[in-house]
Amino acid sequence: MILKMRTELSLVIIAIFISSCSSTENGKNKEKEDLPNIILLMGDDHGWDEVGYNGHPFVKTPVLNEMAASGLRFDRFYSGHSTCSPTRGSFLTGRHPNRYGTFTPNWSIRPEEITIADILKEAGYSTAHFGKWHVGPVKKESPTSPGAMGFDEWLSHDNFFEMDPVLSRNGEMPQKIVGEGSNVIIDEAIKFIESSQNKNNPFLVVVWFGSPHEPYSGLPEDIALYDNLPDSLAKKEVQLTSNETGKRVSRSLREVLKERYAEITAMDRSIGKLRSFLKENNLRNNTLLMYCGDNGMPVSAGGTGLTRREDKGSLYEGGILVPAVVEWPVVIDKPSSTSAVSVTTDILPTVAEMTNQALPDRPIDGHSLLPYFENPTMQRDKPLCFWQFQPKKVFTEKSEPYIEPELQEGTTPLAKVMAGKYTRDFMNNKYKEISENHFQGERVIMKDGFKLILEGQSPNTMGDELYDIENDPREINNLADQYPQWVEEMKTELSNWQASVLNSLTGGDYKTD
């Protein structure tokens, strides 16, 4: 695929990074040194509300607050899906996860997908992944491990992790590492950055935290920060996983939130540790540092301070709107914010344009965020679509697996028991024929300030839903009956996009002439 015409910002960036035209080895090394370093951070089940800079009444996130105050704050940033594995696939590929069968948690990515790590490795970057993976097993023989998907090094978990995490280094036998989970993986990221600097390589570091996914646990000093949560929260109970048994248990919301907020604060502190390291080593100016969540808050978060409709698992705002901030001082030299609709699929096109690399020759659903760095008032000029595919209505136990089942078996244990075991296995099935029945499921198209929801899962809503999402972010006033022609036009556009997605799902994007 040919890259779109560069914006004025892109030309400036390319001039900075690729300024030397010398064919000598020294010239090549200088070009390599001028490439930006890239660090991409993502929290687990961290919704839009749960940061201080968005006005949360309790949670303490001083580092993310500082990033939002000094860099570029995205006020309408979305996860590519309402659950984790699909969003992580969108983050890596720039494509909607239904294109390659990552429909829900524990469905893997496909080996043929091209990731941000693949692209930057071609550009001379050292690449590493730390923390939660969850788009396939992390063991070295897995065809969808971090190593198989472009990362030189990894210390990763098949799913989520807590205190004293059990992680696999470069696909080897998992081992317990004593310490607070977020701090453990940030320490590893710092070691990798130091190693990359010794090799004079630019680096891509992807850190996917295990926090604040339940079951919650925190350091005593972090839990103590929330001892003054309102007593009224003690009157409500929520269900979540027990750290002791791995099974469901009911607990006081007040006690649960003390632990959840402690995890968020510890994650925030670890990000501060990384920022301090960058500054102390003169790396901050030309390092893009981005943080976002992977989906909205779960029900176990209690909805405290919730300003959006529904929760994780839903395509209403509460399920997909997440916090996002970016720092890159050499380019983003003054504090700003943008209301532009943005999404995790935009990450790959952004880093490709930053480094003057071509996009993969296949449908890409995201677009570059670089124009917003220069002009935060710009708005998205293409529709944004979401789709909760219904694999249980399409596949059966007799469906042909895309990857051999033994290669999909996970190895890293976690607290939550599922199907009688403490590890996670993955799946991905071959999709051979498109059917009209497969276009169903909750789905969304956002365009021109409006959001159309089809087959929405809210129990209080029936039929098509159209919202003026800029002025009605809580999705209260359904305008579908007032604008029937607009609804039909958006439906057609959404259906055309779905057809493209299903063609990708057949493997059509991987075929060569």
Q: Tokens standing for 474?
A: 């809580």
Q: What pLDDT does residue 21 have? A: 39
Q: What pLDDT does residue 253 have? A: 96
The backbone torsions φ and ψ at residue 90, rounded to the nearest 5 degrees and listed phi first, read -65, -35
Residue 34 vs residues 116, 162, 260, 394: alpha-carbon distances, Å: 19, 37, 40, 49
Sign of CA dihedral 329, 335, 340, 342: positive
DSSP 348: H
As a whole number of angstroms, the distance between CA 99 and CA 112 comes to: 12
Exposed/middle/buried for residue 249 (C-beta within 10 Å: 0-12, 13-18, 19+): middle
As a whole number of angstroms, the distance between CA 331 and CA 373 comes to: 7
Exposed/middle/buried for residue 371 (C-beta within 10 Å: 0-12, 13-18, 19+): buried
Q: What pLDDT does residue 47 have? A: 94
Residue 374 vs residues 17, 347, 378: alpha-carbon distances, Å: 17, 17, 9
Name all domains of the chain by residue range, CATH numbers in brackets.
37-212+260-385 (3.40.720.10), 387-510 (3.30.1120.10)
Q: What pLDDT does residue 513 have? A: 54
The backbone torsions φ and ψ at residue 177, rounded to the nearest 5 degrees and listed phi first, read -120, 120
Q: Tokens standing for 286?
A: 């030309």
As a whole number of angstroms, the distance between CA 120 and CA 356 comes to: 10
As a whole number of angstroms, the distance between CA 454 and CA 435 comes to: 18
- 3-class DSSP state of 276: helix
Mean pLDDT of successive 10-residue stretches along the chain, which has 513 residues: 38 41 42 85 96 96 98 98 98 98 98 98 97 98 98 98 97 98 98 95 98 96 97 94 94 97 98 98 98 96 77 96 98 97 98 97 98 95 96 96 98 94 97 96 97 87 90 95 97 98 97 67
- 3-class DSSP state of 286: coil
Q: What pLDDT does residue 185 have? A: 98
